[in-house]
Amino acid sequence: MTRERSPDHPSVLVVEDDAGISAPLVTALGFLGFDAHTVATGTEALTAVRDRRPDAVLLDVVLPDLDGTEVCRLLRAAGDNTPVLFLSARRSVADKCRALALGGDDYVTKPFDLTEVSARIRALIRRSRDTLPHPPLGYDAPVAPRRLRAAGVELDVDTREAWCQGRPVRLSATEFALLKVLMENTGRVVSKGDILDSVWKYDFQGESGVVETYVYYLRRKLGDSGQSLIRTVRGAGYLMNAEAVPTTEKANIGGGDGSWGVGGVAGRDRGQPIQRS
Model pLDDT for residues 198-237, shown as the tens digit of each residue: 887 654 444 557 888 889 989 999 988 888 899 998 878 8
> What pLDDT score was predicted for residue 201?
67
Residue 6 has pLDDT above 80, yes or no: no
The model's pTM: 0.56
Q: What is the pLDDT of residues 102-119, one digit of tens each?
A: 888 889 888 888 888 888
Spell out where the chain has E strands.
Answer: 11-15, 35-39, 56-60, 84-88, 106-109, 147-150, 153-156, 161-164, 167-168, 189-190, 230-233, 237-240
* Residue 277: pLDDT over 60: no
Burial of 59 (0-12, 13-18, 19+ CB in 10 A): buried
Q: What pLDDT shows up at residue 7?
A: 55
Q: Residue 140: which pLDDT band, with cuts at 50, 70 and 90?
A: very low
